[in-house]
Structure 1
Amino acid sequence: MSAAANALRQRSVGGRPSATGSPRQITSCPWCGSEIREQHLRVYEAPSDIGRCVTYCGDNLGRCDFSEAKAPKEGLPVMVVDEEIYRRPPALLIATVDKFAQMPWKGETQMLFAWKGPSLWSWTSAPPDCGSIEEQRMNELGELRPSQLIFTFGVGALVDLPNLSVIVLGLDDWDIRCCKEIEEDRLVAAVQKRLGAQMGRLYLPPIKQDSMDKDPAAPAVGVPVAPFPRWMRCPLCNTLATVESGVFKLIQDPYRPDRTQYVHQGCLKSVGSRAPSVLPVRFPPEEGFPGIRLVLLHSLAHALMRQIVLDCGYSAASIRERLYSRQPNEDGGPMAGILLYTAAADSEGTLGGLVELGEPLTLGRHLQQALESMRLCASDPLCADHRPDMLGRGIQGACCHACRFAPETSCERGNRYLDRSVLVNTFSARGTAFFD
């Protein structure tokens, strides 16, 4: 920005063009055709001003919408200075070949083409309750492109890395001190018009600069994530523990973050000095029977998911469930609720049909049809006669693949603790139905 200001000063006093070139890259206004000269360019240097090199229309009478009289500090929607282009990536970029040649080693250039994205950082254990980002011990796990963070792996999304999977934490865990503010008043005004005045600022994702790679004391800059699932298992000795227990150690490669993985260094069955890599366990061991409240909610959630798939065009794997069940004597209880949401990363996740299904009339119709369809199963009477047994074929009652089982990625409990007879009467069970 300072080089552009110096170039304009030299030309204004009749000097020769500077070695860095001139910011006057447009000779006429594309809107009205007026000629643009050096005196129609203004450099507003930061931090005392907006930090932009603005090109105005050459209409000295101020009739053009992009003249200085009608669009102060806005001008034509073009950017001609590198610093401004890196800070506010444009929709259309016209550059020489040397800019493209800088992509392998210059992070700012990679950002223009969505190559350079935010890094994924995770605490080695549960995140601390206090302390600044410089004091927190974090590990880099990988990297995402900016477009992936916006459209595919947003808050709450599950990111599959080569050796483990992580879940993106909420915005309350993000440190906005490492995020650049989007200095675009018109964009902020448009978002406020849609969302409300409580939205005060817009920020870019926290992206680590290239200079931080050379500084070992640089703070952890990136998107905070947490390992998910939290349970891990050693494939050799079958040791089962959580990531917070300290049984498994996180091994990080500073030059290849994608090779970060958990290993079991104390494995008694390992051969040689190399510790075995541990495997994630999505469904942790149960601590006793969770209660009939959860069985009722779980069975109802599967009934609604099956009905939504049949009537609304979603695939079975694109809808997931979340159960909220607590007994009256538990902390935060009593609690009884279910959440159905689209979790597909492709176009099915943007259909928006679940919002319309929340209308009372529509939801009532689907609920009635879902309960009616649960009375019969293609595998009856075998399905209706099944009783839950810890030593049997499954921890579920009257439920099977023909009626209420969901894909493993959609079910929170691994298709366990399901029973049609707690909702409606079946062939073999009467008097236990909640809705009859």
Structure 2
Amino acid sequence: MHDDRFIHDPAQALDPLGEVERLNDEGIKKNRAKVGSARPSSLLYTYGPGSIMDLPNFTVMPAGLDDWERIWARRDGVPEIKAPRLREVVRMMLGTTDVQLRPHPWQPKRSNRSAEGDDLGVPSRIFPQWMRCTGCDMLGGLAQFEYTNTHPFRPDLAIFEHVGCPGRRGEKRQKQTSGKKSRRPAVPARYLLVCEQGHLDEFPYDHWVHHWQACPEAERPVLKMTDRTAGKGASATIQCAACQARRPMNEAQNDRRKLPGCRGRHPHLDAFEDNECGLETRLMLVGASNLWFPATQSIIVMPETKDEQATSRADDVRTALGEDLADAATWPKSALRRLLGSQGIDLSGDSDDELDALLVAAAQPVVTVERQAERLRDWDPVDLLVPEWIYLQKDPLGPGHRDEASGLVLSWRDRDAHLPKKITRVLAVEKLRKVNALVGFTRVDDMDRAGDLPSRLVPLTRKRPKWTVATEDRGEGIFLQLDEAAVADWEGHVLKSRLWAAHRDANRRNFWRRFSETAKSVEPDSRLKPPRYWLVHTLAHVIIREAAMTCGYGAASLSERLYAWPAAEGRPPSAGLLICTTASDSDGTLGGLVQLSQPERLAELVNGALYRAERCSSDPICANRTPRDNEDFLHGAACHCCAMASETSCERANRFLDRRFLLDLPCGEGLGFFDHVS
């Protein structure tokens, strides 16, 4: 990814804080830069770069990471989140030789009215910039409205207003006593154009109403957007006040051939693709759920092996020294130690010879961009989970065994006699650290619906990225491991069943109907999770539902991490799950979930979950749900009454669930893994 791929005007650089300072120096009553706030998790999964965030009075789009550099430049140092395994995967997916994981530009305040962190924030652009007056329906650009944001502690009051609004009937709306001009709020015009390659553009209302011709009466005619049937799709009508031309928006919704071709615009980068896209566009509303899908990767940070530690330290030194790496060997060791220490690299335990060896390792050739692309083609997301599974197979050295580097705290738990025998191992994960990184996003299709993910991924920067945004959460959890021999035997039986054949056929129909046109080269069966995944996934959901009743956390605050894959070259088989809850503040969570790992309480929890899974208020319809004929749903005996979970809990959007794989239900072909629970 290079700058010459995009057409961009550096003179239009986004610098909200610099603009505020300029206005202040000129003695102008300043409009403040801060317009809202959000949690780090929402800025990663819901409102990341390229998305549209709905504020009380208008909408904004977080800018690409290039524009964040001006925010970080206001500080002496840039914090970094340490997660070497995740960093390696992010480096591969971004196609770069090196990359850092950085948190959002934020600093906590001692009080609501203190000034700490006022120079930090996520830079954003007003988007879309076509707005409609709520008083007279005038449709125009930002320049036709007045922006006000002067209250230092109420960014929610930031607003665009139409000054001198005449109202819908044409009469001046003025207070006779004050003589002030009427001011009416303006709201975003909600229609956009989007293409499958992730480009996004504003709707060309002026060209649309005149059928792509110039207005015969005025060079810059006044437009109006009237809408009397809100909530019924593209129901607005665009009208030209000069020539009285009218055109409804539902024409654009019903016939994509009437829309212009894609111009290749990336508004979050303030740039256009060098080669015009030209794909067919589609109409989309500002709040559409398929406008922005984040592409993220996450890990539970586990202790590193000695080789991983050496590689990680070499990467840190190479990044810290940058272009000075070649000359660093000639520097005085004391100066080198001070410099690297200021970058957070601890060398207190290293001798001079070990420091020289570290510099040699850092100077080794890095993996080329071409090699990164080759690795990505062969990469399986399961590879990110394998080190976690392998480490969780090791028994803790004692109660509350803590690894200082990763922050992971594990305790062994004995099995209660009443715990189902096919659950062979239990660990209490008293403390864990989860790191999540954003690598890009898609539009129209979610990332797992596009077979050619590297080409469909919308970039976060105009140039090859040196870092990406990440979040760091701390929490707790319970790890359960199933008997591998029992799972393998059960899985072989399921693969021969009529139920599995029905699920496999439904997956193929689902793939061909709903996947991106660019995913035709992908084999549908490669996207179908194996039976053991369905088993572990369904078990995780019923346990989450049961645990929410007693652990003190809502079901939406609990999440799953599933380890379920058969043996393959380079990785052992797995069948287990981690139910966890995390929080983004430094203290993490309070221990309510991990308390359920006590032997008696865990047996009661699991047995209660399985007992409830035997029955559903939608039975017998739910218990017998099997995709047939033309149906393509990716679940069986599972619904929101019995096994489905919130989107914050489930890693697969409630796909690949079936209670018949947990327990023998009526008409379930005897495929239940667990025995009957009384």
Structure having the larger proportion of residues in helix: 2
> TM tier, shorter chain?
0.3 to 0.5
Structure with the bigger RCO (C-alpha within 8 Å, sep 6+) is 2
TM-score (normalizing by structure 1): 0.45
TM-score (normalizing by structure 2): 0.31
